[in-house]
Chains A and B, each alone.
Chain A
């Protein structure tokens, strides 16, 4: 009896703490560069749902860093734990290594990170995966959700895109995953950049100049050692040997990945000109680009551009 009472008291205490925590967080909101974000003055919450630990970082780390600096709360979610992404390691040990890399990367960007723990290379658009994504969106109370288009190159990317599309609208339906409080409005859903053409190429609805946070972005990618210096050069048959020292590696990484990432700037050129003006746009080296998904809330172009950092 006594034990049971103790347990009950602990539960009451835990509930009281859970209730107190949101108040505490709200009171702690401090804008890192000393000014309120441009959008409405309210705290913007963004979740980027990538297929693997490193997808979010490569695609949107610069925009995430800018958001975080302006006081937005950003979380990167990896739907799979990445346990197949290596030539000689694998399974739980690799998943743990990659989680640690992503945590370091998230610290550099000033954001939060988690994985939903599905197996790498085995993601299917099941109801179980959809519900895990709905819960993640709700737990973060996201205003903006970013993911892959459902026609990217890797099946895990395509199905992540489908699953996130299928979470749009449903995230606001209280009878779906009823144990997790719904989001009160359907968030804005966005796709991150890819270069595929069929059934249609990416429409660049938003483009963000990320030059001033590129050190952070390179740092966040550099933290993924198992990927940037082991797995990806191995699978891509990169002949140029990976240096062993830290400075040499970063230089090597920029030489290898820089040209591909700079091509995004050309892909988003027209939108960059419209958003930043021609003179500024001409000088941008690195940009990140996004398409608005039709299934979430549909803001006007002006509002969408307000929501994204500039």
Chain B
């Protein structure tokens, strides 16, 4: 099986689905993480090509930790729009990877790049199988399964966890992968959050701090979707689960049964 994750920026797929990626990779699934933008605006004092190169290096290190492949489509950060140019780049990426599962943001997440990445993924569904679209790249013979990453927005309707993956046993690897993204985890994100003063200077201290910084989000994701975990893992494992990642099935691609969908995702 082959999986492609279409994050808007270098760090989105790792943050929302890094644990699931590790588990898939460990079971022999070929996973590729795509950053639609190169992330060239995501810093308080750096920017442009130099920042994009720095983030590409971080992402490749992170992908090595996860055991997955990585590339960027190199659109400008803050400039992802649902144009035909972006759509065709995404169609070619999905085809090049011969993906069975495609994952991106919902079109109502907080960042415009996330919203438009989600729209572009939706727009690529079905068309990846149409031979006259991007005729230079062989079409997929089957429309893949399209999925959304988790988010917490309510309008026009809240995220629905169609699949939940208990990632408690691979959290160390997920944190290790995020730890490679210095420019984000220890510079840009805490700066935007007004917490830059908390970040330790040494590598070991930072790795420890990263968990305290990220853990509240990850715990909340699990609390919010414990029912979905219970469906797949049973009540007792779900009750004790700390860390999970959840995904919603998009209506526009191949529609597997619930059993088939659960079978496709790692446990």
Residues of A that sit less than 8 Å from B by CB? 125-127, 130, 165-166, 168-170, 172-176, 178, 199-200, 294-295
Query: CB within 8 Å of A: which of B32-52?
Result: 40-44, 47
Contact A294 to B81, CB < 8 A, known contacts A166-B112, A175-B42: no
Tell me, in angstroms, the Cα distance from A145 to B16 when the chains sit together.
Answer: 30
Q: B residues engaging A (CB < 8 A)?
A: 40-44, 47, 77-79, 81, 110-112, 115, 153-157, 192
Report how far A190 CA is from B237 CA in the complex, Å: 42
- In the complex, the answer to whether B156 meets A173 with C-beta atoms within 8 Å is no
- B154 to chain A minimum Cβ distance, whole angstroms, is 7
A176 touches B155 (CB 8 A): no
Contact yes or no, B153 A165, CB < 8 A: no
| Contact (Cβ within 8 A) A294 B41 | no
Distance from B114 Cβ to chain A, minimum over Cβ atoms (Å): 10
Instruction: Write the chain A residue with the least CB distance to B43.
Output: A175
Residues of A close to B78: CB separation below 8 A = 170, 173, 175-176
What separation, in Å, do the CA atoms of A174 and B44 have in the docked complex? 6
User: What are 19 inter-chain pairs, A to B, with CB distance below 8 A?
Assistant: A125-B81, A127-B79, A130-B112, A165-B112, A166-B112, A168-B110, A169-B111, A170-B78, A170-B111, A172-B192, A175-B40, A175-B42, A175-B43, A175-B47, A176-B41, A199-B155, A199-B157, A294-B110, A294-B155
Q: How far is the CB of B48 from chain A (nearest CB, A)?
A: 8
| B158 CB to nearest A CB, Å | 11
In the docked arrangement, what's the CA distance between A176 and B39, Å?
Answer: 12
Chain A residues closer than 8 Å to B155, beta-carbon distance: 199-200, 294
Given A176-B41, A199-B155, A294-B154, output 17 extra A-B contacts at Cβ < 8 Å: A125-B81, A130-B112, A166-B112, A166-B115, A169-B111, A169-B112, A173-B42, A174-B44, A175-B40, A175-B42, A175-B43, A175-B77, A175-B78, A178-B47, A199-B157, A200-B156, A294-B110
Give every chain A residue within 8 A of B41 (Cβ-Cβ). 173, 175-176
Note all chain B residues with C-beta closer than 8 A to A170.
78, 111-112
Compute how far the CA of A166 lies from the CA of B110 in the bound complex, rounded to whole angstroms.
9
Closest to A203 in B: B155
CB distance from B123 to the nearest CB of A (A): 15
Hey, which chain A residues are within 8 Å of B47, CB to CB? 175, 178
Residue of A nearest to B109 (CB): A295
Q: Which residues of B contact A199 (CB under 8 A)?
A: 155-157
User: What residues of chain B lie closer than 8 Å to A175, measured between beta carbons?
Assistant: 40-43, 47, 77-78
CB proximity of A127 to chain B, nearest CB, Å: 6
Name the distance in Å between A151's Cβ and chain B's nearest Cβ: 9
Contact partners of B79 in chain A: CB under 8 A: 127
List, in ascending order, chain B residues with CB within 8 A of A173's CB. Answer: 41-42, 78, 192
CB contacts (< 8 Å) of A200 on chain B: these are 155-156
Given the complex of chains A and B, what is the CA–CA distance between A305 and B167 in angstroms? 41
| Cα A200 to Cα B79 with chains together (Å) | 28
Q: Which residues of B contact A165 (CB under 8 A)?
A: 112
Give the 6 A-B CB pairs with smallest separation, nearest first.
A199-B156, A175-B41, A166-B112, A175-B47, A176-B78, A294-B153
Known interface pairs A176-B41, A200-B155, A200-B156; A127-B81 also in contact (CB < 8 Å): yes
Q: Tell me the minimal C-beta distance from B80 to chain A in angstroms.
A: 10
Chain A nearest CB from B194 CB (Å) reads 9
**B156 and A169 within 8 A (CB):** no
A199 to B107 alpha-carbon distance, docked (Å):
14
- Residues in A whose Cβ lies below 8 Å from that of B154: 294
Give the distance in Å from the alpha carbon of A59 to the alpha carbon of B164 in the complex.
44
Using Cβ atoms and an 8 Å threshold, which residues of chain A touch B110? 168-169, 294-295
**Measured between alpha carbons, how far is A176 from B112 in the docked complex, in Å?**
13
**Residue of B whose beta carbon sits closest to that of A184:** B194
In the bound complex, CA of A175 to CA of B153 (Å): 26
